[in-house]
Structure 1
Amino acid sequence: MARILIADDDPTILSLLNKILLAKGYEVQLAENGSVAEKKLKSEQFDLLISDIKMEPVDGMQLLRNTRKLRPHVGAIMLTAYATVTTAVEAMKEGAFDYIPKPFKIDELLETVKRALDYQKSISEQISADSHIEAKKYFGNIVAESDQMVNVCEMIKRVAPTKTTIMITGESGTGKELVAEAVHAFSARSEGPFLPVNCAALPESLIESELFGHVKGAFTGAGTNKVGLFEAANKGTLFLDEINSIPHPLQSKLLRAIQNKKIRKVGGTEEFDVDVRILAASNRNLETMVKEGSFREDLFYRLSVIGIDIPPLKQRPEDILPLAQHFIALEMDGAEFPSMDNAVLSILQNYSWPGNVRELQNVIQHCLTFLRDNKITKETLPSKLIVSYEENPGAQNAALTGEFSKGKSLKAFLRAKEKEYLKTVIDTMGGDKVKAAKELDISLATLYRKMPEDGQEQSS
């Protein structure tokens, strides 16, 4: 059975937690402050730490940081009677699995303990099974070749098992809904519904009814009762995309629904309990909107306990070719991969991608529509990419060189060209792979994976 360390300077809380957890069969150790807890962590093995935040001489946040250094495999749940959004954000950033405000409900505590232990177990099993598995293999349609997107995937794995609201930010077309889907898939709600809604696409006069439902006769045209999205997403996840479009008068009702987990239908008098996790996204700066008075500050902080920011495609060029390959695979549906000439590769890599990943997918669909002899050539590209490239002499000078290899699959071609480039950079750095990785803006582990030592070439 799991071993749990409890740190709290309140003897009553220590005694209560000890009694509750022992009754469930857990092995429990008690520490009356952070210093005692640190000593126990140094000398004993634990699976989970439950710690108060406000303690002396070592407070809970410092204990959490020290635990991450001493025992990085140990999960952590923070308890506090002074819970604020700032506290929650800090605790999650420092690696806490979740936090519970005092006074707590026993069933909520036990559920959180179980989820934390299950999560730590799954992470340990995953690491022991294969510590070198790429993040992109775990996230379906999220391609994570760049360090930036690998970090996004790691963040998803960390926050998905919690109940925390998450704000996903990024330019249009970066894949915010894919990130929301991944959070849902890795959460305890994965068997429940995942309902995405684009708030900007809903007429302002109907958005309240769409979110909360309405009763018959609530307004002209309301001929029957309607189930709202909050009710339909019960036991699951509701993803509110472009939440910046929610009208200001409706924001207070949304805040109450998130805080109290209760809704009232339009025209109704009865309140309903709902169990829904909220994920939100915006392509506008909500902090600026708060300052302008067009978005409620309290709603902003309630939604932004944890933030996941998706960088634009132009800031992660190493994702462009893998994404192109991914979209080609989706479109070809098992058919033979087309070849791609050097000019196309250069144009794709040097384009600014204002529409981000969505625009890249559209470009690939365009290329495949005009495919000839199973080749993606410059002529298959949309004209705006060619014009942009021809107006940028620097991009042309940086174009890939070498003749097109007839009959070579796109996968083989991309691997060969990538390896050529990596070898050139390594040679330029005098064979120093640490310097080469820094120059390439990738991790050393990624470089070794892409360029194995001689005699250890990876098959694919």
Structure 2
Amino acid sequence: MNSHVVVVDDDRDYLEVLGRKLSEIGFKRVRLEDNSVKLAEDVEKGLSFDLALIDMTMPEMDGMALLEKIKANSPSTECIMVTAINEARIAVECLNKGAYDYLVKPVATEDLSLSIKRTLERKRLLDLLDLEKRDDLPTLENEEPFRPIVTQSKKVLRILKEAELHASSLVPILITGESGTGKELLARAIHGASPRAQHPFSPINMSSLSSSLFEAEFFGHTKGAFTGAEHGRVGYLEHTNKGTLFLDEIGDLPLSLQGKLLRVLQDGEFSKLGSSARQKVDLRFIAATNENLEQMMAQKRFRKDLYYRIRGGWLHLPPLRERQEDIFLLTRKFLEKYYDVNKQGFIEKTALDLLMRYHYPGNIRELKSVLQSAVNLARGEPIRKTHLPSHITAALKTCEDEDLAAGSSGVKPLSEVEKAHILHAYAQTGENKSKTARRLGIGLNTLRRKLASYGIQ
């Protein structure tokens, strides 16, 4: 676990005992301190921890005084008091001074684990509330898992911090956003920042699972469960045990299968096909969708109980058109395999201007596709306007012509610009939905949904 913990006790032997128990629970960043005065001085200098386990009776500075010092200088540090005295009056006093829990020695590993879990969950919720109130940009404690996500967007940076806070918990997470915004990349980052990082991350496209395949793929089956099945099969649940199961496009899961998924989420148990034995499974669930699940619930196409089960934490990734400051960063990232992007001249200004002004209905995935096509045409030369797909220049020309016709004061809503662009591409492909979706770099379901909203079936 990535949480930074300090244990303070003047009894060095007991300090080592608590240190071993914390290691068994999974904590790696643990400071064992037998001098309460030294820790108080460090805290006054700005050192902070996620959690402090504090012995009540210590020379020079007792636990109560140290608790007050920590709360005065590092209010976000959660504190658990540890004492040999089981007295209600002292426990109440500790809680009144800011401690979250009060444990009596000797502390069983199970009791310690449960108390720490509750305490860190409270800290996570408080940190999430604090994140909403802050105007400054938060910093990531563990940057490495989030490094593949290229951004300087303030909105996205705040989402990444929120994702990091969720990563340390066990709550299921729902990631929403348009097709191509990077939902799986964010799910992988959450897994990498979680205590489950050393265990499997299994992405599953829910729209690819038919009713006949769902149970076999999800639960696995025993030998002989099917005609000709000479061997049993390990399903996604068993394979991913102790890891993270990423349920992509969960809005496409048929209603008839949603109840089966819900039972696993609720009970943490499943049975293989061909067996009545129940198996326990320890999983973190992350779901993603580009659908409006609330609208689907209103239309009775998505179960409410499943929705509220998967939405323990909710992260919404904005479309690329709402984070235009990232377009050049992403362009550099996608082109660094082919050009020296640290030098000017790998892309001409007119081409870059077009990329910066385009609205990307297919989001980051479309930008990557556009640049790959341009690289193929450029053949090592700088990327020019002529190397970009014609639908980009056509879409911008259409928008400019419409703005000119509307007059200098006519500013079209972004939804209308997107609609005009999609319909233009649809007409160019002879109203072929598959070709249009590929050209725009968006999913076929997304295109169908948008066309339906324009009155086209």
Whether these two folds match at TM > 0.5 is yes
Residue 117 of structure 2 is matched in structure 1 by: 112
Match of 1:228 among 231, 235, 239: 235
Conserved? CA contact 2:205–2:249, under 8 Å: yes
Asked whether the equivalents of residues 320 and 349 of structure 1 are also in contact (C-alpha less than 8 Å), the reply is yes
Q: Which amino acid aligns with 1:109?
A: L
**Aligned counterpart, 2:78:** 48
Deviation for aligned residue 1:133: 8.4
2:156 corresponds to which of 149, 153, 158: 149
Preserved CA contact (<8 Å) 1:135 1:154:
no
- 8 Å CA contact retained: 1:136, 1:143: no
Whether the 8 Å contact between 1:239 and 1:278 is mirrored in structure 2 is yes
Change (3 A) 1:373 1:246: closer
Give 1:256's match in structure 2, choosing from 250, 260, 263. 263
Aligned residue for 2:6?
2
Aligned residue runs from structure 1 range 317-336, under 5 A: 317-332=324-339
Deviation at 1:302, TM superposition (A): 0.9
Are the aligned partners of 2:241 and 2:282 in contact in 1 as well (CA < 8 Å)?
A: yes
Larger radius of gyration: 2
- Which residue of structure 1 lines up, in the alignment, with residue 85 of structure 2? none
Aligned to 1:272: 279
Determine the C-alpha separation between the residues in 1 that align with 2:393 and 2:169: 46
**SS class of match (2:175):** strand
How many residues matched? 322
Q: Is the 8 Å Cα contact of residues 262 and 274 (structure 1) preserved in structure 2?
A: yes
1:96 is aligned to: none
Alignment partner of 1:184 out of 184, 191, 198: 191
SS at match of 1:197: strand
How far apart are the structure 2 equivalents of 1:231 and 1:132?
Answer: 36
Residues 107 and 242 (structure 1), Cα distance of their counterparts in 2 relative to 1, 3 Å cut: farther
What runs of 5+ residues in structure 1 fail to find an aligned partner? 5-19, 30-37, 52-62, 68-73, 78-103, 120-130, 398-460
- Shift of residue 374, structure 1, vs aligned partner: 2.2
Which residue identity does 2:352 align to in structure 1? L
- 1:142-164 per-residue CA deviation (whole Å, 9 max, x = no partner) reads 11211111112111221111111
Q: Which deviations, in whole Å up to 9, do the C-alpha atoms of 1:61-109 show, x marking residues without a partner?
A: xx99x98xxxxxx9x89xxxxxxxxxxxxxxxxxxxxxxxxxx963641
Within 2, Cα distance between the matches of 1:232 and 1:370? 43
Report the counterpart of residue 346 of structure 2 in structure 1: 339
CA distance in 1, matches of 2:190, 2:401: 40
For 1:349-389, what per-residue CA distance to the aligned partner results, in whole angstroms no more than 9, with x for missing partners? 11110100000000110111111552100111111112112
Letter in 2 for 1:141: P
Give 1:393's aligned amino acid: E
Question: Cα distance, 1:246 vs. partner?
Answer: 2.0
Task: Determine which of 122, 146, 150 is the counterpart of 1:139.
Answer: 146
Return closer, same or farther for 1:307/1:379 CA change in 2, 3 Å cut-off: same
1:296 corresponds to 2:296: no
Residue 242 of structure 1: aligned partner: 249
**Structure 2 counterpart of 1:81:** none
Q: Name the CA distance, whole Å, in 2 between partners of 1:205 and 1:108.
A: 41
CA offset digits 1:415-448 (Å, max 9, x no partner): xxxxxxxxxxxxxxxxxxxxxxxxxxxxxxxxxx
Q: SS at 2:354's partner residue?
A: helix
- The separation in 2 between residues aligned to 1:44 and 1:349, in whole angstroms, is 45
Other-structure match for 1:32: none
Letter in 2 for 1:383: S
Report deviation, 1:281. 0.5
On the 8 A contact 1:3/1:48 being kept in 2, the answer is no
What 5-or-longer segments of structure 2 have no aligned partner? 9-17, 23-31, 33-52, 57-66, 82-94, 102-108, 125-137, 405-457
Cα deviation code 1:266-323 (max 9, x no counterpart): 2320111111111111111112222222222111111001001000111111111111
Say if 1:166 and 1:304, in contact at 8 Å, map to a contact too: yes
TM-score (norm 2): 0.61
- After TM superposition, give the deviation of residue 216 of structure 1 in Å: 2.6
Q: How has the CA–CA distance of structure 1 residues 259 and 354 changed in structure 2, closer, same or farther, with 3 Å as cutoff?
A: same
* Partners of 1:231 and 1:274 within 8 A in 2: yes
Which one is further off, 362-371 or 204-213?
Answer: 204-213
- C-alpha contact (below 8 Å) 1:136/1:142 kept by paired residues: no
1:199 and 2:206 aligned: yes
Whichever residue aligns with residue 195 of structure 1, its letter is: S
Q: Secondary structure at the match of 1:293?
A: coil
Q: Per the alignment, in what secondary structure is the counterpart of residue 375 of structure 1?
A: coil
Task: Indicate the residue corresponding to 2:393 in structure 1.
Answer: 386
Q: Percent identity?
A: 36
Aligned equivalents of 1:328 and 1:134: distance in 2? 29
Task: Answer yes or no: is 1:161 the counterpart of 2:168.
Answer: yes
**What's the TM-score, normalizing by structure 1?**
0.60
Structure 1 position 265, deviation (Å):
1.2
Deviation (angstroms), 1:253: 2.1
In the aligned structure 1, how far is the partner of 2:350 from the partner of 2:338? Answer: 22
Q: Note closer, same or farther for the CA distance 1:117–1:311 as it changes in structure 2 (3 Å cut).
A: closer
Match of 1:173 in 2: 180
Tell me how far apart the structure 2 counterparts of residues 324 and 135 of structure 1 sit (CA, whole Å). 25
> Is the Cα–Cα contact under 8 Å of residues 328 and 337 in structure 1 kept in the other structure?
no
Aligned to 2:410: none
| Number of the residue aligned with 1:312 | 319
Q: Please list, as runs of the form range in 1=range in 2, the aligned pairs for 1:6-17 lying within 5 A after superposition.
A: none
Amino acid at match of 1:165: P
